[in-house]
Structure 1
Amino acid sequence: MVRTVHKNDYGAAKLPTLFLDLDGSSRVKKAAAQLDKPLIEAEASSLMSALSDGLKRNTIYHTACNEKTLYEKVHELQAAETYFRLGINLPSEKTELVKQLLPYDISIVLASDRQETQWFRHFLESYNFPVYIDPWFQPFLVKKYRELHEEREETIRELHLNIEKIRTILSDAELRIFEKIIEGKSNRRIAEESFLAVATVNNHVSHLTRKMGANDRTHTIKRAIEKDWIRIS
């Protein structure tokens, strides 16, 4: 998972930043200069290679991309077990894309169609906080958070686990992880609540997914319902 670190953890202000940009203008380059941070232009296809080679501290990696590539790269980068900040720059009307990105660990979200002076101010301000969402998106995000919270609470009330059946396939550790998956929690959140390393949770999720013949976390829940492990009242 992408590690979003608090400002005084590991010197977060000095962490490398991967910036995925739908705007593709020179704004990020100018802002990096104002922050006195080196900027490296990176192709979307080379981001994972850059992670493998090791990112430079206090450096901004800027990638211009289209909407499809941005979503794919955000999804792909979640598997990285290294510390960096992930930022995205996209037009304010792209609320549907922001909705799709809500489950992911993103440190910076900026509205690319702000007037340039305002945009620079928000870019610079984002380095004062562990997570920074442009106020333009905040009303939408608050609304979506409330909806997701209500949906999850309703789902939790309606799902009943058949523990005896589950234990014939999953270990106790995998069962505990599976229960938290049912609650809609991310691997990072599960790791925090269980006092485990993210890599350990990733391994448990991989094992239980394979045992259930599923493709991913969502498919795992579907398979559990098919196996009568979960009953919906």
Structure 2
Amino acid sequence: MAVRVVVADDQELVRAGFGMILGAQPDIEVVAEVGDGAAAVAAVREHRPDVVLLDIRMPVMDGIEAAGIVCAESDCKVLMLTTFDLDDYVYDALRAGASGFLLKDVRRDDLVHAVRVVAAGDSLLAPAVTRKLITEFVSRTAPRPAAPSAERLAVLTARERETLRLIARGLSNAEIAETMVVSEHTVKTHVSNVLTKLGLRDRVQAVIAAYETGLAVPGGPA
């Protein structure tokens, strides 16, 4: 079954180019191309795609707000588009539920790969890259009223808390298994339990939760 995609960008050449590249793939179907955030939300509601590409800066409704609505209303995965590497909107986009980021000058093959990766339920950012990004933003971002409290982690077992802490350090499942001296299958079970119990979409969201609850500390052990 083809991966269904919505492309949202206020620059016509960008969205048309992305749409053409993705539409040429045998396993990807572009179901809509729109020019603003509100239209993107409407397209997701109408077409129920697997992935939506959202430009961060768009008229009517920006990509951050649109991402929050899409993630709250559906299982559609969100890929944010930006012209700035690690700009000030990245952290807000992650908290809204984005599964990854693409610069608009992304290579053709990387664009296609990104869509396939997030459609499969994975985060586009590698764990180590995710940790570096979140560390930077958390370390210079004031505590937010909506941030989850440490008490939220009480639903996790000791092993699950340790798994979450290691995810936030940027370790892969194989590395977590080696550190905890368990099988990789057991780690996958712990990761799944963490996401389910905390109501998180993916590993990116897990990293955010670890930092915002204080389980992981910016500048802590690598």
Give the TM-score of the pair, scaled to structure 2: 0.48
**Higher Cα Rg, which structure:** 1
Bigger relative contact order (CA 8 A; separation at least 6)? 1
Give the TM-score of the pair, scaled to structure 1: 0.46
